[in-house]
Structure 1
Amino acid sequence: MKAPLLASIDIGSNSVLLLIGRIVDGKLQIELQRKETLRLGGALDEHGNLQTQAMERGLECLRRYAGLMTRVAKEHRRAVATQTLREARNRNEFLSQAHAILGCEVELISGEREGALIYQGVTRLLPALPENRLVIDIGGRSTEICVGHNQTLHIATSCPIGSVAWAQRFFGDGILSAERFAAAGNAAQAALRQSLAPLGNAPWEQAFGSSGTAGAISKALLQAGLPVGEISRAGLFQLKAQLVQAGHIDRLPLHGLREELRPVIGGGVSIMCAVFDVLGLQHMRIAQGALRHGLIFELHQSLTGH
């Protein structure tokens, strides 16, 4: 009998992502993926409410995704919401409407659970290795940092900093100056040091970057002639220097950058530089897996028991 179709949706602060696939002999066979950059994390008003227009954009996206999931049984669907909806005071209004649209509950997950799902999504798509792994996911309003061995997570922590929030706070007018990067980097380092305390001296040998920010930086570095699928310390700080030289997001010469990432690249690069500094990183590989993959594997395990 053919393995059933499974679907996962990640309602993030920058993007809303859909993954549909099957687990066959422990491997994920992807049938469909979709990503819409809605930047909900930039649409919280001064009272902490998700603005009406942004909420409707999110719900319209979910209606489109529901149309793509017609072959997926409702009990084979999972959806989660992360930092923006953790913060939004009117989140229940969004979550109840999303539930009705998708035919499944939308789980509002903690930063630690988000980290655990990211770790599983990353490591399930990697070969088994003797070294411990460090997995870092810089999202729109939060950054998750995890350490583990193969598929066994040792510890996960979440820091409330992200590319959308940092772009708004430090680069909201589009100016990319050395002073802005210094302020953004110092603030990110202070937040990271506080959030990294639970990791203690957890050992790791390989560093992986998951999701949009790491992928966008890697693609920008690829245009500069650096190897595909990785971020080096030298390349990262060279990229920051290029952004400062450009001086404004409208003058960025980054041909590999998707247009929707232009407004948040300053926030993402400043946080990635802070991550490299605080953790003493020299090199990071780009992971193929992410939260939505971890959610699919967790759903498969709950349905089959293994």
Structure 2
Amino acid sequence: MNDGRADSRDRHPGMPARAMTENSAKHAPDAGGSAPPRIHRHEPAPAAERPVRTGYRRPAYAALDLGTNNCRLLVAEPASHGFRVIDAFSRIVRLGEGLGTSDRLSEDAIERTVEALRVCRGKMEARGVVRSRVIATEACRLAVNGAEFVERVRADVGLDLEIVDRQTEAYLAVTGCAALADPRAGSVVVFDIGGGSTEIAWLDGAATNPSADPTLRIRAWDSLPVGVVTLAERHGGTEVTPLTFEGMVEEVSERLAGFALRAAPAATAPHFHLLGTSGTVTTLAAMHLRLVRYERRRVDGLWMSDAEVSEAIDDLLGTRLQQRADNPCIGRDRADLVLAGCAILEAIRRAFPSDRLRVADRGLREGLLMNMMREDGVWRRGGFR
């Protein structure tokens, strides 16, 4: 999900977690020795069987999110109230390119993605990862050759890629960024604009306990089968006119209508606000801040007023493709997609009017990491700095 920029290596704050199945980073040799050793998925071991931290080396964990547009990896070690990123990788692979008109992953897209996954595997090995989870989302869910692609990744790269369902993706998005919700807010609408789908959830009730599982507050959720890649392919993303943009907004609004009806009470709650995680919202934040280069520390957690969001979208609508490509906070690989993302955001804003939007440069991978570390009880052992 999110954009293709390189990740900064920051300390991430602690976030509530939800128990999930994990991947082990133990390497089992394959017969004949010709294929790479695989990282196998397994159920977490009982606490008594887990290795005890020795005090001189923290365990390394990895989370990989393979979306319709991006391949993104975080490698992290536990810290006092969360984790510290020790390595990261992000590359736009456009795995779902053409899925708007076809039902298959193309060979070119597969080749680009396999190469990116090899880089990720190398980073995981170099960092001595002890546990990982490697997930794929909408492109692999939709493609008729999605399972075939998973087998190819297992054979060629040695990663056990797990295709997660839409509910899991929505819950991971909430887990990854809910810590940024205003604790006074009676309701929050959290959304994650991806390449092939958009996850959205209504969190009800104020966050009185920061360590509580935020997914327990979900009153309604949905996964819309529309993202920046699929929407741009249908409507065009190179030269977007106001009429084209409005057509994209209308399509998303129609798909959002059912959820908007179920979650209508959200916008009436005290201190209600939107909380967005995606390359779209981080790009708008960077433009609002007039950044000459992307800075995660300034973007993650930024509050934007409704007027500031509107101004940033209008500014983007006034640009040509080359201008967007030349913007270092957008880049050539995303220049034809960012306005489709703005259309999705605009549909959400119309359905849930709010004075405030909080920007999250975090999401599925952070949720995966917190889940794994929480299950392993790394913070209960203490002693992290």
Report whether the alignment pairs 1:23 with 2:83: no
Letter of the 1:105 counterpart: D
Cα separation, partners in 2 of 1:28 and 1:198, compared to 1, 3 Å: farther
Deviation of residue 41 (structure 1)? Answer: 2.5
SS in 1 for 2:125: coil
Give the TM-score, by structure 1 length: 0.88
2:148 maps to which of 93, 99, 119? 93
**In the aligned structure 2, how far is the partner of 1:237 from the partner of 1:47?**
34
Report whether the alignment pairs 1:207 with 2:261: no
Equivalent residue for 2:322?
250
Give the TM-score, by structure 2 length: 0.71
1:295 maps to which of 349, 354, 368? 368
Bigger share in helix: 1
| Correspondences of 1:1-306 after superposition (within 5 Å) | 1=54, 2-44=57-99, 46-71=101-126, 76-100=131-155, 103-124=158-179, 126=180, 129-131=183-185, 132-148=187-203, 149=207, 150=210, 151-153=213-215, 154-155=217-218, 156-172=221-237, 174-199=238-263, 201-202=265-266, 203=269, 205-223=272-290, 229-246=302-319, 248-252=320-324, 254=327, 256-304=329-377
**Does the Cα contact within 8 Å between 1:219 and 1:257 map onto a contact in 2?**
no
**In the aligned structure 2, how far is the partner of 1:77 from the partner of 1:214?**
27
Query: How many residues matched?
Result: 302
SS in 1 for 2:308: helix
Letter of the 1:161 counterpart: V
Deviations 1:256-293 (A, max 9, x none): 43332211112011111111111112321112321000
Deviation of residue 255 (structure 1)? Answer: 5.8
**In the aligned structure 1, how far is the partner of 2:291 from the partner of 2:130?**
46
**Does the Cα contact within 8 Å between 2:154 and 2:160 map onto a contact in 1?**
yes
Cα separation, partners in 2 of 1:81 and 1:192, compared to 1, 3 Å: same
Deviation of residue 86 (structure 1)? Answer: 0.9
Cα separation, partners in 2 of 1:102 and 1:118, compared to 1, 3 Å: farther
Out of 285-294 and 23-32, give the one that drifted further: 23-32
Letter of the 1:163 counterpart: V
Deviations 1:132-152 (A, max 9, x none): 433211111111112334542
SS in 2 for 1:140: coil
**Does the Cα contact within 8 Å between 1:223 and 1:254 map onto a contact in 2?**
no
What is the percent sequence identity of the aligned residues?
24
Letter of the 2:175 counterpart: Q
SS in 1 for 2:167: helix
Cα separation, partners in 2 of 1:122 and 1:259, compared to 1, 3 Å: same
Cα separation, partners in 2 of 1:201 and 1:103, compared to 1, 3 Å: farther
User: RMSD of aligned C-alpha atoms?
Assistant: 2.7
Deviation of residue 186 (structure 1)? Answer: 0.9
**Does the Cα contact within 8 Å between 1:78 and 1:104 map onto a contact in 2?**
no
**Does the Cα contact within 8 Å between 2:70 and 2:91 map onto a contact in 1?**
yes
Cα separation, partners in 2 of 1:61 and 1:108, compared to 1, 3 Å: same
Give the number of the structure whose alpha-carbon radius of gyration is greater.
2
User: What are structure 2's unaligned runs of at least 5 residues?
Assistant: 1-53, 293-297, 381-385
Cα separation, partners in 2 of 1:196 and 1:23, compared to 1, 3 Å: farther
